[in-house]
Amino acid sequence: MMQSLGGLIVFGLAIWAIVSIINSSVETGTKVLWILLVLILPIIGFIIWFFAGPRPGKA
């Protein structure tokens, strides 16, 4: 049960990070690299993105 909950939390955080990366104002190549990092290294990639990743662009 707890493993399923942990997996759902990691999945939700990854989706949130990917949506934020897509909505950022950085170049497409940079977006792709950040998304790959979050997908390949889910927990560590999310932590790195959270502190150093691109922020959503303001319209």
| pLDDT at 3 (0 to 100) | 84
Report pLDDT for 55.
Answer: 74
Extract the tokens encoding 58: 């303001």
pTM value is: 0.82
pLDDT at 1: 77
Helix (H, G, I), strand (E, B) or coil at 56: strand
Q: What is the spatial distance between Cα 37 and Cα 32, in angstroms, rounded to a whole number? A: 9
What CA–CA distance (Å, rounded) separates 24 from 31?
A: 8
Q: What is the pLDDT of residue 19?
A: 92
Among positive and negative, which fits the CA dihedral 4, 8, 41, 46? Answer: negative
> pLDDT digit string (tens) for 4-51?
999 999 999 999 999 999 999 899 999 999 999 999 998 998 899 889
Residue 24 pairs with which residues in a beta bridge? 56
